[in-house]
C-alpha cells in the first residue's frame, strides 16, 4: 500500500484504523445477533449495524483519557474504544467474563479503563452526566473531552435541553453526538419532532453552530470529531453534531422493523459505511490483501471471543451483594 495515496489530512494508519474498527463493530454485533438467535443472549440488545462509521470516527479521533458516554445502543461505542470483544459478548451472554460480570447487561456496558464511562438506558440521562465529567476537566485543567452519544429521539426529552444549555453557558469541553437514524424506536422521528433536523435545527437555541454530517462516511465523521475535540480542548465550549445514518436491524432484538417503508433499508444498505469505506480505501490504493487480512484478524478475534464466552461460567451468586456501596457490600444497616 502506498502511504502517499491514502494519506491526505487523514493518515494511512488512521484510515486503516477506521476500517478495522468498523469491521470489528460489524462482526462483533453480527455475532451478537447470531448468538441471540441461538438463545445465548439473555435480555434485550440494541445493535448499531449500519451506524459503525460514527462510533469508529469519533473513537479513532479521541485521545487516551477522553471519555465516552453511551446509550443502551452502546456496543459499538464500547468496542470502538478498544474494549475486547469477549468482554462485550460475555456481558450480553450473562457470563462471568462479561465487562460487568453480568450485573449490568447489554444496556449498561462500561469500561472505565478504556474511557467508556457508562451506557445509560434512560433516555437523555447521560447528557447532563457528560456535562459533569467535562466540568471536572475544566475545573482541574485536564485536557480530556467528554463525548456523549445519543439518538434522534432523545432530542425531545427535557434532559437534552437542560444539558445543552448548561454545557453552553459553562463552555464545557463536551461534544454531543446525535446519531440520527430516522427512527425513535418504531416511530419515524419526523412524526414527533417540530423541526427537520432534531439536533442541528436546535443548535442555535444554545448559541451553537448547526452541524449535519454524513454519518456513514467515517472520514467525514473523523474530521468533524477532530474539529469538535479541538474546540473543546481550546476552551471554546461544546459542540452539537447531527450525524445522519440508518440502522440495518430493528430497534432491539424484539423488533422485526416492519414499520419501514419498502425500499428504505435497501437504499441505505447501498450506503453501507463499511462497503463504502472499503471501496474508498481500494480506490486510494490500499491493496485488497491488506483489507482481507484485517477482515480475517477480526473474524478470528470474534470467533475466539465467542468460544471463550461459550466456555465461560455464569456469574457466581455472591456478586449479587457486592458493590452497592463503596465498601464493596450492600449493608444498609448495622
Ligand X SMILES: Cc1ncc(C[n+]2csc(CCOP(=O)(O)OP(=O)(O)O)c2C)c(N)n1
Query: Within positions 132 to 161, which residues make up the interface with a second copy, using CB under 8 A?
Result: 156-161
User: How far apart are CB 187 and ligand X at their closest, in Å?
Assistant: 8
Report the run of H or E that residue 178 belongs to, with start and end. Answer: strand 174-180
Question: Among residues 38, 35, 57, which one has the least CA distance to residue 227?
Answer: 57
CA distances from 246 to 31, 86, 136, 260 (A): 19, 26, 34, 11
- Quote the distance between the C-alpha of residue 131 and its chain's center: 18
CB 225 within 8 A of CB 197: no
The partner in contact with residue 289, picked from ligand X, a second copy, other proteins, none with C-beta cut-offs of 5 to 8 angstroms by kind, is none
User: How far apart are CB 70 and ligand X at their closest, in Å?
Assistant: 10
| Contact residue for ligand X among 15, 73, 197, 248 (CB under 6 A) | 73
237 versus 250: smaller Cβ distance to a second copy: 237
Binding-site size for a second copy (CB under 8 A) equals 23
Site for other proteins in 221-280 (CB under 8 A): 254, 259
The partner in contact with residue 186, picked from a second copy, ligand X, other proteins, none with C-beta cut-offs of 5 to 8 angstroms by kind, is other proteins
Interface stretch with Mg ion, choices 86-94, 115-123, 175-183, 264-272 (CB under 5 A)? 175-183
CB 47 within 8 A of CB 75: yes
| Contact residue for a second copy among 206, 229, 246, 268 (CB under 8 A) | 206
Grid coordinates representing 149? 452519544
User: How far apart are CB 284 and other proteins at their closest, in Å?
Assistant: 39
- Quote the distance between the C-alpha of residue 288 and its chain's center: 27
User: How far apart are CB 172 and a second copy at their closest, in Å?
Assistant: 11
User: How far apart are CB 197 and other proteins at their closest, in Å?
Assistant: 15
What span, in angstroms and rounded, lies between the C-alpha atoms of 93 and 90?
5
| Contact residue for a second copy among 205, 282, 314, 320 (CB under 8 A) | 205
122 versus 319: smaller Cβ distance to ligand X: 122
CA dihedral sign, ordered 290, 226, 215, 301: positive
If one asks whether residue 86 binds Mg ion (CB under 5 A), the answer comes out as no
CB 208 within 8 A of CB 168: yes
CB 200 within 8 A of CB 211: yes
Interface stretch with ligand X, choices 31-39, 131-139, 148-156, 208-216 (CB under 6 A)? 148-156
- Determine how β-strand 187-188 pairs with β-strand 183-184: antiparallel
**Got the DSSP string for 245-264?**
---SS-SSTT---TTSPTTH
Interface stretch with ligand X, choices 30-38, 81-89, 121-129, 287-295 (CB under 6 A)? 121-129
Binding-site size for ligand X (CB under 6 A) equals 15
Interface stretch with ligand X, choices 149-157, 230-238, 257-265, 280-288 (CB under 6 A)? 149-157
What span, in angstroms and rounded, lies between the C-alpha atoms of 245 and 34?
23
Alpha helices, DSSP H, located in 170-258 = 218-234
Site for ligand X in 169-208 (CB under 6 A): 179, 181, 183-185
| Contact residue for ligand X among 3, 38, 63, 122 (CB under 6 A) | 122
Interface stretch with a second copy, choices 7-15, 30-38, 206-214, 224-232 (CB under 8 A)? 206-214
User: How far apart are CB 286 and ligand X at their closest, in Å?
Assistant: 31
Alpha helices, DSSP H, located in 38-96 = 52-60, 75-80, 85-92
What span, in angstroms and rounded, lies between the C-alpha atoms of 183 and 243?
13
What span, in angstroms and rounded, lies between the C-alpha atoms of 172 and 167?
5
What does the binding site for ligand X look like in residue numbers (CB under 6 A)? 73, 121-123, 150-154, 179, 181, 183-185, 251
Amino acid at each position: 500500500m502506498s502511504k502517499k495515496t491514502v494519506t491526505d489530512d487523514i493518515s494511512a494508519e488512521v484510515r486503516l484504523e477506521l476500517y478495522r474498527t468498523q469491521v470489528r463493530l460489524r462482526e462483533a454485533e453480527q455475532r451478537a445477533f447470531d448468538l441471540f438467535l441461538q438463545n445465548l443472549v439473555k435480555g434485550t440488545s440494541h445493535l448499531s449495524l449500519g451506524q459503525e462509521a460514527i462510533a469508529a470516527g469519533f473513537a479513532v479521533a479521541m485521545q487516551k483519557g477522553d471519555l465516552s458516554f453511551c446509550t443502551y445502543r452502546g456496543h459499538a461505542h464500547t468496542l470502538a474504544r478498544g474494549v475486547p470483544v469477549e468482554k462485550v459478548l460475555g456481558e450480553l451472554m450473562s457470563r462471568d467474563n462479561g465487562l460487568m460480570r453480568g450485573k449490568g447487561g447489554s444496556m449498561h456496558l462500561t469500561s472505565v479503563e478504556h474511557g467508556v464511562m457508562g451506557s445509560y438506558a434512560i433516555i437523555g440521562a447521560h447528557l447532563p452526566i457528560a456535562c459533569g465529567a467535562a466540568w471536572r476537566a475544566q475545573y482541574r485543567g485536564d485536557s480530556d473531552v467528554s463525548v456523549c452519544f445519543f439518538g434522534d429521539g432523545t432530542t425531545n426529552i427535557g434532559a437534552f435541553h437542560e444539558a445543552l444549555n448548561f454545557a453552553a453557558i459553562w463552555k464545557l469541553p463536551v461534544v454531543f453526538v446525535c446519531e440520527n437514524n430516522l427512527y425513535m424506536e418504531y416511530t419515524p422521528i419526523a412524526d414527533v419532532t417540530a423541526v427537520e433536523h432534531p439536533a442541528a435545527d436546535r443548535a442555535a437555541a444554545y448559541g451553537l453552530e448547526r452541524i449535519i454530517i454524513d454519518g456513514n462516511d467515517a472520514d467525514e465523521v473523523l474530521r468533524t470529531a477532530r474539529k469538535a475535540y479541538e474546540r473543546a480542548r481550546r476552551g471554546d465550549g461544546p459542540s452539537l453534531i447531527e450525524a445522519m445514518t440508518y440502522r440495518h436491524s430493528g430497534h432491539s432484538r424484539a423488533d422485526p422493523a416492519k414499520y419501514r417503508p419498502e425500499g428504505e433499508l435497501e437504499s441505505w444498505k447501498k450506503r453501507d459505511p463499511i462497503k463504502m469505506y472499503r471501496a474508498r480505501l481500494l480506490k486510494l490504493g490500499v491493496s485488497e490483501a491488506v483489507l482481507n487480512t484485517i477482515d480475517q484478524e477480526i473474524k478470528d478475534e470474534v470467533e475466539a471471543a465467542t468460544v471463550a464466552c461459550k466456555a465461560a461460567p455464569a456469574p457466581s451468586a455472591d456478586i449479587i451483594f457486592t458493590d452497592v456501596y463503596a465498601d464493596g457490600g450492600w449493608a444498609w444497616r448495622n
